Structure 1
Amino acid sequence: MAEALSQSDIDSLLAMAAEHPAAAANGAAVPAATAATPVMSLPAAAGRANQRHRYVRKMDFARPSKFNKDQLRTLQMLHESFCRRASTFLSGQVRSLVEVSVTGAEQIPYGDFVSSLPVPTFTSVLEVSPLGTNAMASIDLPLLFAMIDRMLGGPGTANGRIRELTEIEAGLASNLMERLLDELSAAWGDLVPVEFRLRGIEMNAQFAQIVPASEPSVLIIMELSIGTATGSLSICLPYRSIESVVGDLAAHRYFATGEDQPDHRASLLESLQRVPMPVRAEIGSTRVPVETVLGLQPGDVVPLGRRVDDGVRLVVGSTRAYRALPGRDGNRVAVRIVERLADEESRTGS
């Protein structure tokens, strides 16, 4: 009685049949090995058959991937929404146009983020609530000094100063960061109900080891521009800090819960209402020849073609909106609004 075939024998026969598909399909015998064809043992044939269907994938054990491309794209969109909110808030704080934009979102080890920060630098340790985890944020010091200078009434020029903050500067910077975290929480709230709170500040990021250096993290880098001062705001989110909500970071969920929600529209309207607008009072205007302008001296009188009781025009943005009467409020010049100008009058400026 013939000996039963083992599984390896069957695999080797299948492998040989795969090499001669035409003969196998016609029911012909598979050609036997000749002198020109080396004889292969049954285990070797089985091994080659298995190797033909083997799939090899590269794996970097030093930097395991925890975030897929869709999740990184969603995180970038979330922080683009934060940039719009931050631009509105900061413009009101520093009384100047502030542009904020995302320059990139990538996965890196937490240790790489910490080692890339200079010393000193303004580093904030963030608490992610209600997850009970931590994240990190940093602001370039020259940019931070420019913002503080603007908040205190200065020109806000960037002079490249690299030093630790004074006690007053640290207090102002902490308050500024807390308000920015409110905007960050609102941006995340469109998709995930988390809040970011300021837990503490460090001038040396090495002292803020919230996770192991090898922890996979997402680094979001945003560029800020205030006049001639530019710098970056970086947010580092370790995987274990947001692990419980990573599954919610899907682009289709973001678009499904975003712009059309009443809460989002109310928040957008509230942000727009905080946008600063220039308001100025125009006494009047006239046209004179160049030779008259060249001959002007202190004490000369320039008629403006308006009556004294006409008052002044209050210009909001670029539109003449109100007629007002000049006066003073304490020791400061002020105007009192009399009436709103009609549309035609606001266009002609009469």
Structure 2
Amino acid sequence: MAEKLSQGQIDALLKRINSGDETIEAEAQKQVKEYDFKSPKKFTKEQLKTLDGLHENFSRLLSSYFSGLLRVFCEVSVLQIEEQRYFEYSNALPDNALIGMIDLRPENKQYNDATLIMDMSTTIGYFMVDRLLGGSGEGYNLNRDYTDIEIEILKNVFQKISRHLQEAWCNYIEVETSLSSIETNSRLLQALAPEDIVVIVALNMKIKNLNGGISLCIPAANLEEMINNFSVKYARISKRQKPEHEEAKRTMIFERLTDTDLEIKAVLDNFQLNLSDVLHLQPSDVIPLNKSINSDISIIVDEVPWYSAKLGEVKMKKAVKLNELIS
């Protein structure tokens, strides 16, 4: 039970409050979030949520790509998306880095082209080089510069990554991406002005026991003019390719399929014999069939009946004439 105050104590307390010697604390002190008016936020929560969905799709594409490329299970996930000044991002980059400069060109010419900066952890870079050259991927904790051969190998990887990035973006707005260069010295990187606002997308990549980071730096000026055209409908429908791209894709698939080997058999009849009868078979023995020699036969393609046909002879060789497709 709380201690009761006497009348004298109450009077003394009121006197101290009136004189300003005592202050009354607020019931609950509200948390105050700092806001920098020099660099106001350019994107709303809804827009950042849209970017998060875009890069969630991109991370899934990377997971599938790296898992197949490196022949080990790989998981890529989005950690966070935030706005920064460019100098804050560049100052956080290590001296020895693996940075891909990716050109992003919107199909709509009213939008300006943008240069995206993709920084990949050097440990991931050395891991990929070791795996792609036939190694186990254990020697990735290296403190040295990349060789010219390693740069060429990683350049091919970054080119494939830029295509997956294009696929993720095209679900929202039609763009074309391409890798312009690979940089390994972050201190010589002057892609944007220090005070420019950028959006940083932080990804985490997990391969076996290795955890590494991948970050995307997107100029806010370019993103701001494009994101207003982002629509939910683009995220819900599949990407529509151009007719010539669809035709080229069909032709490529058909050409690949034409080289496939399939077993084709012409079967007159199926019947059963006892093992004892099979063991006593001799030349000139007659085996009765369940159908006439002039009846249709079945054409079996990879164990599946496809056609009915007639048995015949062409140029002293047995042949079959296809009649109709078996539904």
Paired residue type of 1:191: Y
Matched, 1:182 2:163: yes
Q: 1:70 aligns with which of 34, 38, 46?
A: 46
Shift of 1:243: 3.2
What whole-Å deviation, never above 9, does each CA across 1:279-320 have from its counterpart, x for those lacking one?
A: xxxxxxxxxxxxxxxxxxxxxxxxxxxxxxxxxxxxxxxxxx
* Counterpart-to-counterpart distance in 2, 1:260 and 1:201: 34
Q: Determine the structure 1 residue equivalent to 2:130.
A: 149
Q: Determine the structure 2 residue equivalent to 1:95.
A: 71
Shift of 1:158: 5.1
Paired residue type of 1:228: N
Shift of 1:110: 1.0
Shift of 1:145: 0.6
Matched, 1:165 2:141: no
Contact 1:63 1:214 in 2 (8 A): no
Q: 1:218 aligns with which of 173, 191, 199?
A: 199
Shift of 1:163: 1.8
- Runs of 4+ aligned residues of structure 1 deviating over 3 Å after TM superposition are none
Q: 1:258 aligns with which of 235, 239, 245?
A: 235
What whole-Å deviation, never above 9, does each CA across 1:185-226 have from its counterpart, x for those lacking one?
A: 100100011222211121122322221111111100111111
Q: Determine the structure 2 residue equivalent to 1:6.
A: none
What whole-Å deviation, never above 9, does each CA across 1:324-346 have from its counterpart, x for those lacking one?
A: xxxxxxxxxxxxxxx88xxxxxx
Contact 1:97 1:226 in 2 (8 A): yes
Paired residue type of 1:199: S
Give the structure with the higher percent helix: 1
Q: Determine the structure 2 residue equivalent to 1:121.
A: 97
Tell me, what secondary structure is at the counterpart of 2:104?
A: strand
Q: How does 1:1-350 map to 2 (within 5 A)?
A: 60-130=36-106, 131-157=112-138, 159-249=140-230, 253-254=231-232, 256-261=233-238, 263=240
Contact 1:143 1:158 in 2 (8 A): no
Q: Determine the structure 2 residue equivalent to 1:319.
A: none
* Counterpart-to-counterpart distance in 1, 2:122 and 2:128: 10
After TM superposition, the score normalised by the length of structure 2 is: 0.59
Percent identity for Structure 1 against Structure 2? 27
Gaps of 5+ in 2: 1-33, 107-111, 254-301, 304-327
Paired residue type of 1:200: S
Q: How many residues are matched? A: 212
Contact 1:156 1:229 in 2 (8 A): no
* Counterpart-to-counterpart distance in 1, 2:216 and 2:45: 18
Contact 1:220 1:234 in 2 (8 A): yes
Paired residue type of 2:45: K
Paired residue type of 1:257: Y
* Counterpart-to-counterpart distance in 1, 2:129 and 2:140: 13
Contact 1:221 1:235 in 2 (8 A): yes
After TM superposition, the score normalised by the length of structure 1 is: 0.56
Tell me, what secondary structure is at the counterpart of 2:96?
A: coil
Paired residue type of 1:258: A
Paired residue type of 2:131: R
Task: Label 1:162 to 1:71 Cα distance change in 2 as closer, same or farther (>3 A).
Answer: farther
Q: Determine the structure 2 residue equivalent to 1:299.
A: none
Contact 1:64 1:216 in 2 (8 A): no
Shift of 1:242: 2.3
Contact 1:137 1:233 in 2 (8 A): yes
Shift of 1:262: 6.3
Tell me, what secondary structure is at the counterpart of 1:174?
A: helix
Shift of 1:63: 2.2
Paired residue type of 2:229: D
